[in-house]
Amino acid sequence: PYYIHINQNLFLQAYLHSSDPNLVLFLDTCVASPTPHNSTAVTYDIIRNGCVRDPTYATYYSPHRHILRFKFVAFQFTWSSPVVYLRCELVVCRTYDYSSRCYQGCINRPKREASS
């Protein structure tokens, strides 16, 4: 666990441990939840499908492609315990493979139409 006060900046870094210098990291999805399980009932999207959903989110420069740095402002779910669980999904791609997910950026998927 990592302890932080509400409204304080939370800085995170993801590091790919690999001897291959031709790999790059991409943060696809980062979701907060009041439970440690992969719950989809109550979540808060920080990033979803590469699209920033939290206005306090920001990326930071990294001198290496295999290190990803970002931050957002800490919060808690008002009706639950003060604990927030974070689940992030990262994608590893080949550098300069412009057809890979890492280079597609934000993907806004249209909502499906409800059928009768």
Supply the DSSP symbol for 114: P
Sign of the C-alpha dihedral computed for residues 10, 1, 47 and 69 taken in this order: positive
Q: CA 103 to CA 96: how far, in whole Å? A: 8
Q: What is the pLDDT of residue 41?
A: 74
Report percent pLDDT > 90 for the chain: 63
pLDDT at 114: 58
Segment holding 70, helix H or strand E: strand 67-73
Q: Coil, strand, or helix at residue 27?
A: strand
CATH code, domain carrying 77: 2.60.40.4100
What pLDDT, in 10s, does the model give residues 55-100? 999 999 999 889 999 999 999 888 777 888 999 999 999 999 999 9
Whether residue 80 lies inside any domain: the answer is: yes
Q: Give the residue numbers spanning the domain of 51.
A: 8-97
Q: What is the pTM of this model?
A: 0.83
CA angle 110, 28, 76 (to 5 degrees): 95
Q: Is residue 3 part of a domain?
A: no
- For the chain, how many structural domains are there in total? 1
